Amino acid sequence: MSHRILFVCLGNICRSPAAEGVFRARAPHHSSDSAGTAGWHVGNPPYGPMQEAALARGIALSDLRARQFTAEDFHRFDLIIGMDANNIADIEGLRPEGNDTPVRLLTDFAPHLGADHVPDPYYTRDFDGALDLIEAAVDGLDEHLGG
């Protein structure tokens, strides 16, 4: 079965485009997109250092462009995945009345790692650490969806 998955972070230039890029490479039979809760970077490609770190793992992100998360996304996706608790709170703040689309943390899909969020590499500068978490959790997500 094919699912529609939306990855969400704050700026949509580091974590969520990386998750989208990893997911579409590993699970091309599903459809996916990413968005930011903030609109600062709308129309921009992923942040250069994140593109480079991803490309070193064979994941190209250069075609992606940032957009802002909207309430309509609750109707357009089967599962919405945030990177940290702030993302989840911002997403939930836009939930339309009566909508029951699941919203989860990406790290929920890699419980063995013991992480409760994907630290923002825009601030930590640890792009490889973020990608390690994202790759492990996307594998778990793919399994959760039935492969």
Toward ligand 4NP, which CB reaches closer, 29 or 87?
A: 87
Question: Known catalytic residue: 15?
Answer: yes
**Site string (29-68) toward ligand 4NP, x via CB under 6 A:** -----------x----------------------------
109 neighbors 133 (Cβ within 8 angstroms): no
- Measured distance CA(103)–CA(86) in Å, rounded: 12
Active-site position among 9, 24, 73, 142: 9
Neighbouring CB atoms inside 10 A of 96's CB total 10
Active-site position among 33, 84, 120, 142: 120
Toward ligand 4NP, which CB reaches closer, 99 or 124?
A: 124
